[in-house]
Each structure stands twice: as C-alpha cells, then as structure tokens.
Amino acid sequence: MIHRLEFEDLVRAALREDAPFGDPFGAAFRGSGCGSFLAGAPGVFCGGPVAAEVFRQLDPAVSATFVEEGRRFSAGERVGEAGGPVGSLLRGERVALNFLQRLSGIATAAARFAEKVAPYGTRILDTRKTTPLHRSLEKYAVRTGGGANHRFSLSDGVLIKENGIRAAGGIAEAVAAARKSVHHLIRVEVEVESIEDAERAVRAGADALLLDNMLPETVGEAVRRFGETVFLEASGGIHLGNIEEYARTGVPAISIGALTHSAPALDISFELAT
C-alpha cells in the first residue's frame, strides 16, 4: 500500500488545478446521487486510495469505495462506486479518473512485463523517468503490478551514466570519484555498453553494472563473466516482444523506462445512476 501523506498534497494541487474557482455547473445541483467506476478494458487496478482522497478533500459527505489494489479485472467490470452530493461527484470525477487511469495503466504495463519474465526469476525494475512530482505514485503503481523499484532519487544510490563518465574522464576515474563522495553503504553502479567497459567497471570496483542497449547474447556473456562478482541489470531497447530473450540469459534484473514514461492510461469511466 501507499500512505496518504505521499499523495495528499498532490491531490490538493490537482483539485486546485482542475477547478480553481469551483464548478459553476456542478454547483447548480443540490441533491444526492451515486455512480459506478467502470473498466473499459482489462487490466490491473491501482489508485483507489488516491481517488478516494479526491472525494474526501472535496466533500466529507461523499463516500467512495474501490476494489483492492492489484486486482485484475475485465472490460465492463465495476471497480468502484461513489455516492453523495451530485455537485461534489461531478466536480471530483475527472481528477479521480485521471489518477485511476494513469496508475492502473502503469500497474497493467508492469504486470505484463513481470508475467513474461516470471518463469526465469528475473525482476522488472522501473527508472527515474517519471512524471515530475508523481514519482512516489508511479513507482507505487509499478509495485502494484508486480514490478520492483529502482532508486527513488539521486540520493538513494550512484548510477554512473555516460555523461558522468565523460565528466570524470573515464570509468575508473568516475568510480573513484563516487567512492570518495559517498558513504560505505551506498552502492555504485556503472552503465556500460560493451564487455570491455564492463571489465573496466568491475576492475574499478563497481558494485553493479547496467548493461545498456546490449544484444541478448552480449548480456548472456556478461552474466557468465561477471554475474558472480557484481549485480547486473539489462536496459535499453527491451520490450514485450523480446524481453524473454533477455530473461533467458539469467540476468537478475531488467529496467524498463516505458513503465512510467509511456504506459498508456487505462480506460476507466464514471457513470452516474439514473
């Protein structure tokens, strides 16, 4: 689960963005009503606590309940319901749906990748390619779908990428600089694009290697040569169509930026009862 403190302010900002001066049409309705959240496509549900928080902040008189997080559903299935003052339901539906569609889309994408690699024991990791200020929610959605989280921020660990290597003057120099600037509990990972660079990083004392844009056979060679020495993850150019080829190499983790930067929103709608 995710704690309300991680999204309370975000929900407040989203409501202010969507209706900074109220909803002139919704305010015309004084009665109460109820409605259902319906799935327009199959997927994995995520975001119920966030959608419920939307209505909680708008109007305590609204009651909103949703199916459990991580539940798989079919097209046409009801995944939640809300009841209370009609004006409040109308004002909150779009913001609630935006969160539900986005987070369920990410969870669904993560589940599809995780299912592909499950037989091989490979973990699916996300990246920092997230929507600004939505990182906690989007990484939560990845976990809900069966994936795992890479570092949450630059403060969590060192991943030396191409520009960092250039800035330092080489792989060995970059690893040395990292070791001097962090405490002993911080793991140092190096992004490499060839077996030769992997060798340099291992010799320099890297704890982990990110095998970037390598072919499956090259990843397999890296696993055979370095898998007992450092942690390995593959990334770049990996998608649902070829991910099993990478998982078969024995690489313990595959990071997928598309989980958060381009997962399609899931079709979920809200329909008032008539």
* Catalytic residue IDs: 94, 129, 161, 191, 212
At a CB cut-off of 8 Å and minimum separation 6, what does 188 contact? 157, 158, 160, 175, 178, 179, 182, 205, 206, 207, 208
Could you tell me the CA-to-CA distances from 180 to 39, 158, 176 in Å, in that order? Answer: 52, 12, 6
Distance CA 126, CA 255 (A): 5
Distance CA 51, CA 96 (A): 4
Compute CA 34 distance to the chain's CA centroid, rounded to the nearest angstrom.
Answer: 31
The burial class, CB within 10 Å (0-12 / 13-18 / 19+), for 29 is middle
Name beta bridge partners: 6. none
Strands (E), 57-207: 63-66, 72-73, 78-85, 123-125, 158-160, 188-192
Work out whether strand 78-85 and strand 32-39 pair parallel, antiparallel, or are unpaired: antiparallel
Helix (H, G, I), strand (E, B) or coil at 45: coil
Phi, psi of 273 (to 5 degrees): -75, 145
Instruction: Determine the Cα angle at 4 with ends 78 and 111, to 5°.
Output: 50
